[in-house]
Amino acid sequence: MNDVSASSQGSYIPRNAIDHMNPFFYKSHHAHTHHAHSHHRHSANYSYQQPYPDTHHNSVADQEQEFLQTPVPRRLSVQIETTKPSAPSPANSTLSTASTAVSYNTPPATPPLDQSIPKPIEDAVAWCTARARIPTPDGSEYFLHIYENSQDKKEHLAFVFGDAIRSKSLDKVQWNETEMDRAKRGAYTGRLRNTVSEEQQQDMAILSLSAESVIPSSGTISPASPPLVRVHSECFTGEIGHSARCDCGEQLDEAIRLMKAEGSGVVVYLRQEGRGIGLAEKLKAYNLQDLGYDTVMANLMLNHGADERTYEVAQAILEDLGMNDIRLLTNNPDKIEQVEKDSQIKVVERVPMMPKSWEAIEQGMEAEFEVKEGAVENKIVRGKELDKYLKVKVERMRHLIPIPTSMNA
Ligand SMILES: Nc1nc2c(ncn2[C@@H]2O[C@H](COP(=O)(O)OP(=O)(O)OP(=O)(O)O)[C@@H](O)[C@H]2O)c(=O)[nH]1
């Protein structure tokens, strides 16, 4: 476990990060992290580990194959040593690709938080502070819910489709509030109607709500089958930035489309950009990906875990929305485990999210599958970078998507 392997070329990768490259490692290891970490904190334990296996002996394809088979930690659970190891010789301190060379010879200045200190176990609580109707271009609509919570300061969101799904915390009557106060924060059933005349629009003193102002709900009250749920993590680049590096925008659109079609469902939109590492760190990871490292390795090289997301807030939001049995839109088995863990929520069905371009390839429709140049209205993505990213998710992050047979050849 603690042996140090020195390679002739390479970067500072803590040996333990390599030893523990197992997607199940975080959970199984958690119980004894304290001992393990306190040990590592006091022993200089860096190694100059090549990010890819020895380039002198294997072909690039062999190296990639070998590397892809190395399981990865869900979160990085090693301590970075405070004692600086002896400096590598210049020859050992360069990561290079055919066209680029990047110096990488200093250990990270800021060690990650000490995850060996057990956090107090407390249940997350989430409460809805505002809700409003959002009409969409095809004439359908949903209610956007904003949540605060006991775990962080971020504004997590829920897109709620259909009138049957209600937020308990939103509907709760607050002390001294008027019907107008409730209407302002979205705590009404049905729809609000425009009953304000043009003259009244200038008069801010009119703060009452008439009976005609609310149109009662005409929708179904209880959905027939367990509702569709998507627990989605923020991806600025994929959802707003038209990036073809990932399928996040396409997945969000598809989840919304399916829920509109069913007339019911919830997208919990978590502000966990970059699998929890944040946008700035994700951009750094993209630079490493441009140098040839995959999405998992790039995170590890930045001293992050492969996936640092947590799902307690999602559970709390789903519980507030009265969810019990759900059909979860995901390819990610880790997400299913995390959403169900110690909660009332049960994933009774996993609804796969097949990437559109892979679906087209599998159906022999690749030629017909077209992404309009500069298209922004639909977020269907395709391309070599997307293919590589998706393959890594299947091979190293346990994602349950069949790789098109033509890509395995
Ligand atoms: N660090 C990092 N994050 C990424 C990268 N590409 C996308 N993301 C983030 O990954 C998250 C989405 O993760 P995915 O793996 O696509 O999906 P998932 O939510 O785990 O699984 P599904 O439910 O099957 O979609 C979002 O927070 C994105 O910002 C990347 O290359 N590096």
Q: What is the ipTM of this complex?
A: 0.97
Ligand 1 in reach of 251 Cβ (< 6 A)? yes
Q: How confident is the model at residue 379 (pLDDT cuts 50, 70, 90)?
A: low
Note the pLDDT of residue 123.
Answer: 86
Q: Are residues 87 and 143 in the same domain?
A: no
Q: Are residues 39 and 142 in the same domain?
A: no
Q: How far is the CA of 239 from the centre of ligand 1 (A)?
A: 11
Q: Are residues 99 and 144 in the same domain?
A: no
Q: Is residue 146 predicted with pLDDT exceeding 50?
A: yes
Name the residues annotated as catalytic: 307, 309
Note the pLDDT of residue 396.
Answer: 84
Retrieve residue 327's tokens.
């059909």
| Better-scored residue on pLDDT, 185 or 222 | 185
Q: Are residues 95 and 36 in the same domain?
A: yes
Note the pLDDT of residue 355.
Answer: 84
Note the pLDDT of residue 3.
Answer: 38
What's the mean pLDDT when you consider all of the chain? 75
Q: Are residues 244 and 384 in the same domain?
A: yes
In testing the pocket of ligand 1, which one of 235, 293, 397 has its CB within 8 Å of the most ligand atoms?
Answer: 235
Say how far apart CA 72 and CA 372 lie, in whole Å: 36
Burial (Cβ within 10 Å: 0-12, 13-18, ≥19) of residue 388: middle
Q: How far is the CA of 13 from the centre of ligand 1 (A)?
A: 23
Mean pLDDT for 358-366 is: 75
The CATH number covering residue 357 comes to 3.40.50.10990
Contact residues for 283 (Cβ-Cβ < 8 A; gap 6+)? none
Task: Decide if 386 is inside a domain.
Answer: yes
Mean pLDDT for 50-72 is: 54
Mean pLDDT for 170-195 is: 91
Shortest-distance atom of ligand 1 to CA 393: 15
Ligand 1 in reach of 353 Cβ (< 6 A)? yes
Residue having the nearest C-alpha atom to atom 21 of ligand 1: 332
Letter for the amino acid at 20?
A: H
Q: How far is the CA of 160 from the centre of ligand 1 (A)?
A: 22
Residue having the nearest C-alpha atom to atom 6 of ligand 1: 246
Task: Decide if 152 is inside a domain.
Answer: yes
Task: Decide if 111 is inside a domain.
Answer: no
The neighbour count for residue 115, using CB atoms within 10 Å, is: 18
Shortest-distance atom of ligand 1 to CA 279: 29
Note the pLDDT of residue 46.
Answer: 34
Q: Are residues 149 and 64 in the same domain?
A: no
Task: Decide if 258 is inside a domain.
Answer: yes
Note the pLDDT of residue 76.
Answer: 53
Model pTM?
0.71
| Better-scored residue on pLDDT, 155 or 59 | 155
Q: How far is the CA of 318 from the centre of ligand 1 (A)?
A: 20
Q: How far is the CA of 297 from the centre of ligand 1 (A)?
A: 14
Helices 333-340/312-320 angle, 10° precision:
60
Q: Are residues 162 and 248 in the same domain?
A: yes
Q: Is residue 311 predicted with pLDDT exceeding 60?
A: yes
pLDDT tens per residue, range 7-48: 334 344 444 444 444 333 333 333 333 333 333 333 333 333
Q: Is residue 229 predicted with pLDDT exceeding 80?
A: yes
Which range marks the domain in which residue 148 is found?
Answer: 126-169+222-272+309-408
Mean pLDDT for 229-251 is: 94
Contact residues for 63 (Cβ-Cβ < 8 A; gap 6+)? 52, 53, 54, 55
Q: Are residues 86 and 232 in the same domain?
A: no
Ligand 1 in reach of 332 Cβ (< 6 A)? yes
Task: Decide if 373 is inside a domain.
Answer: yes
Q: Is residue 320 predicted with pLDDT exceeding 60?
A: yes
Q: Is residue 186 predicted with pLDDT exceeding 90?
A: yes
β-partners of residue 349 are 327
Q: Are residues 131 and 99 in the same domain?
A: no
Q: Are residues 239 and 363 in the same domain?
A: yes
Contact residues for 326 (Cβ-Cβ < 8 A; gap 6+)? 226, 227, 228, 229, 318, 345, 346, 347, 348
Torsion of CA 173, 179, 182, 188, to 10 degrees: 90
Q: Is residue 130 predicted with pLDDT exceeding 70?
A: yes
Q: Is residue 310 predicted with pLDDT exceeding 70?
A: yes
Q: Are residues 98 and 130 in the same domain?
A: no
What total number of domains does the chain contain?
Answer: 2
Task: Decide if 343 is inside a domain.
Answer: yes
In testing the pocket of ligand 1, which one of 235, 273, 275, 396 has its CB within 8 Å of the most ligand atoms?
Answer: 275
Shortest-distance atom of ligand 1 to CA 389: 31
| Better-scored residue on pLDDT, 74 or 265 | 265
Q: Are residues 75 and 150 in the same domain?
A: no
Note the pLDDT of residue 388.
Answer: 86
Report the sign of the C-alpha dihedral through residues 90, 95, 98, 99, in that order: negative
